[in-house]
Amino acid sequence: MELLTQDEINDIRKSVDIVDVVSTYLPLTAHGKNYFGVCPFHNDNNPSMSVSKEKQIFKCFSCGARGNVFTFVEKYENVSFIEAVKKVCDIAKINIDINIKPTKKKDFTILYEIYDLSLKLYQNNINTNQGISAKEYLKKRLIDEDTIKEFQIGLSLKNHTLLTNLLHQKEFSYSDMIESGLIIQNEYGYNDIYYNRIMFPLHDLSGQVVGYSGRIYENDSTSKYINTKETKIFKKGELIYNYHRAKDIARKMDEVIIVEGFMDTIRLHISGIKNVVALMGTSLTKVQANLIKRLSSNVIIMLDGDSPGSKATESISKELINIGIVPKVVRLEEELDPDEYIIKYGTERLKAKLENPISLTEFKLSFYKQDKNMLSTTDKADYINQVIKSLNEINDDILKELTLVKISEETHIDIDLLRSKIIKKEEVIPKIDTSNKEIKDKGLIKAEISYIYHMINNKEAASLYRKIRYFPTEKYRLLARTIYKYYLDNHEVNEADISSFLDSELLETMNSILNLELKEEYSTELINGYIDTINRFNTNSEIKRLMEKLKNEIEESKQQEILREIAELRGDSND
């Protein structure tokens, strides 16, 4: 089966609980009838997303995102609607006969095919006689056969044209080969980028290979790793190493660990710590930060224990704070990285550190104090100002107060003076713009919006749509017609099911209306009042049109005909 009917989609939605599904992506806390969590669709500092078990919808009181279980997964996973349906079925363990391949941009299909073929070649290479020394190297690094297979580790051989020739045989063009970032053209012709290196594949969020990091293993070259250049399918700042493997366990554990390198990730993974990801370097982009937020708001940064690792920890924490995450920190002694630490001290000692991370503020107090002479007035003032600036970036009032007390005792500065430097933040609730550029009649706009608001969740209001001649505002007209069609086909209406029936533009219009949170109670009299307002506007607009037509008409018989039409309309409007 390739297509689902609306009835089948509705049946699937009704057979799952949106709270259960959303809980697999982010933690929810029960509050009364609803559940609340941090909204993943904007930079949310406080839990502002509500999930209703009764209505089977989610909505964010801050950014306005809302919908049913399918629209949540569609938006969260950035997949098509039908892919979202399939993912919901997988989560709920519902068997559904529909085969869906991950969406690939049509223009990029050739690049994906090149990488699929290159992966098979590199994996095959490492299992030949020519791969024995590479496997010996990995074995010394305590990477066994199972790990090589799981992480799809391969090998580029001492042959500058092996991949090039294979791709040529498969009839790929040289321009596509070069665009992939795996082949280069130079004075010797077309050659492989990677030569005699252990190949660590880099995956996109769905698990497709889109790049490589190739490591030397037979000499001490300064360029230990060569990473694939950025291409149409590989954007370094938009991907995170091991994300596709770690995402499910990180969401389940409600915690994600950030490390620096590929070997750190692999070592933790095979040691049983699988909620771990690595950055493509020591910086964190806004895109990457939001990807991490999708996994959990509980983040531990555990980079290399040296000075650059300390600086990178401070830098990464700033980007996370910008999106409402205050991470915890693990610092490793002896300037070791996590891979080296486990090999030297064992997994249990590292796990103990992960179970007892220090707060970000505690880390920063130590970090800001580095290379400062606390007997120097200038250095002490600089230290205090850095701490105050850091505290102003977070929203935890208790942590702020505890830190201020500590700083006051440490520096002998009056605590009231320190408190006066803390900026009081007021929560700003965004207002929804309900202005309409097409029509200036505010009474009409209110009637259209209010009628549709009730139409979405009330069968009687939906059935009364037949009494409306015409919705003057185009976007509301299209939405009302679609909801009415849904009502005629299904003999019922509710927001959760209608959300699956609308295209993205109509869904946006519906959400903008629902987010107004109109508090008026439903009554037939109220709805008929809105219908009368809309119809009266239509009548008056038609009278104005006919009056203009009358001015330009010179034939008396046609003038009389127009006057009769106007009289009939005025009679209707006076009823």
pLDDT computed for residue 500 by the predictor = 86
Report d(CA 217, CA 212) in Å as an integer.
16
* Residue 347 shares a structural domain with residue 319: yes
pLDDT score at 438: 46
Distances (CA, A) of 337 to 260, 303, 516, 555: 8, 7, 51, 93
Residue 72 lies in a domain: yes
What's residue 504's pLDDT? 80
Sheet holding 276-278, edge to edge: 276-278, 256-259, 299-301, 328-329, 358-359
Query: Are both 449 and 566 inside the same structural domain?
Result: yes
DSSP labels, 397-429: HHHHHHHHHHHHHHHT--HHHHHHTSPPPPP-P
Tell me what pLDDT residue 181 has: 94
**406 domain-assigned:** yes
The whole-number pLDDT of residue 435 equals 45
- pLDDT tens-place string over residues 504-530: 888 889 988 888 877 678 889 889 999
Question: Which of 50, 65, 92 is the last residue in one of the domains?
Answer: 92
Model pLDDT, residue 429: 36
pLDDT tens-digit map of 107-157: 589 999 999 999 999 999 999 999 999 999 999 999 999 999 999 999 999
Q: Is residue 429 part of a domain?
A: no
Tell whether 145 and 86 lie within a shared domain: no
210 and 251 in a single domain? The answer is no
Q: In whole angstroms, what is the distance from residue 510 CA to residue 57 CA?
A: 13
Number of domains in the chain: 5
Mean pLDDT, range 418-427, rounded to an integer: 73
- Do residue 412 and residue 524 come from a single domain? no
Q: Is 372's pLDDT higher than 90?
A: no
Give 220's pLDDT tier (boundaries 50, 70, 90): low
* Per-residue pLDDT, 222: 60
Domain residue limits at 21? 6-92
CATH of the domain at 168: 3.90.980.10
Q: What is the mean pLDDT of residues 552-559?
A: 80
The reply to whether 454 and 489 lie within a common domain is yes
- 486 has a pLDDT exceeding 70: yes
Q: Check: CB of residue 348 under 8 Å from CB of residue 341.
A: no
Question: Does 263 score more than 60 pLDDT?
Answer: yes
pLDDT for 221: 64
Determine the straight-line distance between the first and last CA of the chain, rounded to whole angstroms: 54
pLDDT reported for residue 100: 59
Q: What is the pLDDT of residue 437?
A: 45
| Pair (142, 181) in one structural domain | yes
pTM exceeds cut of 0.75: no
CB atoms within 10 A of CB 428: 7
The H helix count followed by the E strand count for the chain is 26, 16
Q: Per-residue pLDDT for 432 more than 70?
A: no
Q: Look over the chain and give the mean of its residue pLDDT values, rounded to a whole number.
A: 87
CATH of the domain at 62: 3.90.580.10
Classify residue 435: in a domain, yes or no: no
Q: Is residue 314 located within the same domain as residue 400?
A: no
CB-side neighbour CA atoms (13 Å) of 74: 18
Q: Is residue 305 part of a domain?
A: yes
Percent of the chain with pLDDT over 90: 44
pLDDT in tens, 15-28: 999 999 998 888 88
Write out pLDDT tens, residues 57-108: 999 988 888 999 999 998 888 778 888 898 899 888 888 776 655 544 445 8
d(CA 506, CA 482) in angstroms, rounded, equals 9
**Domain co-membership, 228 together with 243:** no
Would residue 437 count as lying in a domain? no
State mean pLDDT over 42-47: 73
* Judgement on whether residues 343 and 267 belong to the same structural domain of the protein: yes
Closest CA to 269 of 288, 244, 290, 237: 244
Residues 410 and 340 in one domain: no
Does 431 fall in a domain? no
For a pLDDT cut of 70, what percent of the chain falls above it?
Answer: 93
Residue 102: its pLDDT value, please? 52
Report yes or no on 249 lying in a domain: yes
pLDDT of amino acid 434: 42
Q: How confident is the model at residue 571 (pLDDT cuts 50, 70, 90)?
A: confident
Q: How far, CA to CA in Å, does 40 sit from each of 76, 266, 427?
A: 7, 28, 18
Lowest-confidence pick of 99-108, 408-417, 469-478, 486-495 = 99-108
> Does one domain contain both 447 and 565?
yes
| pLDDT grade for 436, boundaries at 50, 70 and 90 | very low
